[in-house]
Amino acid sequence: MSRVLGSVRARAAAGATVVVALALIAAGTAVLLVLRSHLTDQVGLQAQVAAREVASQIATGTAYDKLDLPDGDEHPVVVADEQGRVLAAGDEVRAVDGKPVGGAKPGAGSAGLPGSGDDDDDDDGVQLKPGEVDDEVDYRDGTANVDGKVADYRFAVLEAKDTHGAQVTVRAGSALSPERDAVGSVRTAMLIGLPLLLVVVAGVTWLVTRRALRPVEGIRGEMAAITASTDLSRRVPVPASQDEVGRLARTTNETLAALESSVERQRRFVADASHELRSPIASLRTQLEVGVAHPELLDVPGAVEDTVRLQRLAADLLLLARLDAGERPADARIGLAAMVREESSQRVADRVPVQIGELADGEVAGSRSQLGRVLGNLLDNAQRHAVSSVRVAVVRDGEWVVLRVEDDGPGVPESERERIFERFVRLDDARARDDGGAGLGLAIARDVAERHGGSLAVRAGSVFELRLPVAG
């Protein structure tokens, strides 16, 4: 049960049903109120018409015992004078609001009928002339006993004067039962139709949602299969629709492709790292074993060189691991010109002296050690391939500070200018490894540049250009 209630289809169907139910209840209530008001107005209008017909007869001089009164069960009518005495009433009218009408003869009958004489609270003091009927009508709900049957009526009460100047009150009613029956019928129809309509809404919402979410279930199933098989080359099915589900499937496949590429790079990285570490370790072990057996044959400089190479490779691998883990650079301000002077002054053992060109002012934000590592890697790369010249310069280019390192070597072929920034990549020609390079320096330099919001690229063959944004 909890699984069903927890499904998207069930929640969507329940939500749609609740919303539609609230909307229908509100609309139905409004319809009933409007219908009731409209029907009540119609009943009042019918009562007014009956009252005016009687009042018109009185105003034209018709005697009270000669009045043509409507049937009592349809429109009960009572005519009373200013003292409340009943002057005329329908033949079958027995009582109004529980008070008996009596014989309905002039000057006889019961007094104090509601809505007549001095008891009329709505009398606004309008003075009528003989033979006039008041335009104002007062509506009141009450009961009437017609032929022994008591029912609810809506009464129209108005004033009139006969030709002798006597003012009377005409009270005519119209039954409320038809109005109530109509409202009740509509209410019953709504109560019967509302549950059926809600069932239809819930069913349609369930079916539509199930059809809409069928591709999502396919994506979920395929993802579960990929997780179980660890085969990242598989992809989830992409529906033909261009809706959110289709975009979800395409984004999922892009994520799987990126994950597959990342895992493949990781595997290749581990394999290459193992291979690179194996060589200096094996060489160092061999030299040490030879030294143990024959101390006079121990190549101490070679062992030191292999140890240094191993130490550098371990440092490179550690830095790459930190970069891959998302380590954020520091937020210190570094002057690239000062960093170039300091780094160049410490490279006294370089094969080719480093020439310093233009050093423009400009600070960047980041890690001093990581940016120094980038500069050192670029200079090491230039020293490895230069013929007789290595030059470094710092220039401003708008909101960027540009560090350029150039050598007079054979340059990088245009087709290889992106591949050299991949890890453990060494070109087979002039830039192949000749002094123990592992192919990590340029990869580290580009990773650091990008994490500092900049870029590193090869320009014009052998010019490496590091672009960093000026510190804000």
Residue-wise pLDDT tens digits, 305-332: 778 878 877 887 887 777 777 777 777 8
Return the CATH fold of 244-320. Answer: Helix Hairpins (1.10.287)
Residues 6 or more apart from 278 whose CB is under 8 A from it?
none
65 or 274: which leads in pLDDT: 65
Q: Own/partner pairs for 344-350, CB < 8 Å, 24+ apart?
A: 344/392, 347/379, 350/379, 350/383, 350/390
Output the average pLDDT for the chain. 83
pLDDT (average), residues 445-451 = 89
Asked whether the whole model's pTM tops 0.85, one would answer no
Q: Which residue's structure tokens are 């109530």?
A: 180
**Portions of the chain given CATH number 1.10.287:** 244-320
Task: Please tell me the predicted confidence (pLDDT) of residue 267.
Answer: 81
> Is 176 within 8 Å of 42 (Cβ atoms)?
no
pLDDT per position as a tens digit, 90-127 = 888 888 888 888 654 444 444 445 545 444 444 455 68
Task: Please tell me the predicted confidence (pLDDT) of residue 427.
Answer: 64
**Portions of the chain given CATH number 3.30.565.10:** 329-469
pLDDT of 6 higher than 60: no
> Is 169 within 8 Å of 157 (Cβ atoms)?
yes
pLDDT tier at 2 (50, 70, 90 boundaries)? very low
Q: CATH number of the domain at 329-469, please?
A: 3.30.565.10
Q: Which residue's structure tokens are 């019967």?
A: 192
DSSP H or E stretch at residue 75 = none
Task: Please tell me the predicted confidence (pLDDT) of residue 126.
Answer: 60
pLDDT tier at 155 (50, 70, 90 boundaries)? very high
46: helix, coil or strand?
A: helix
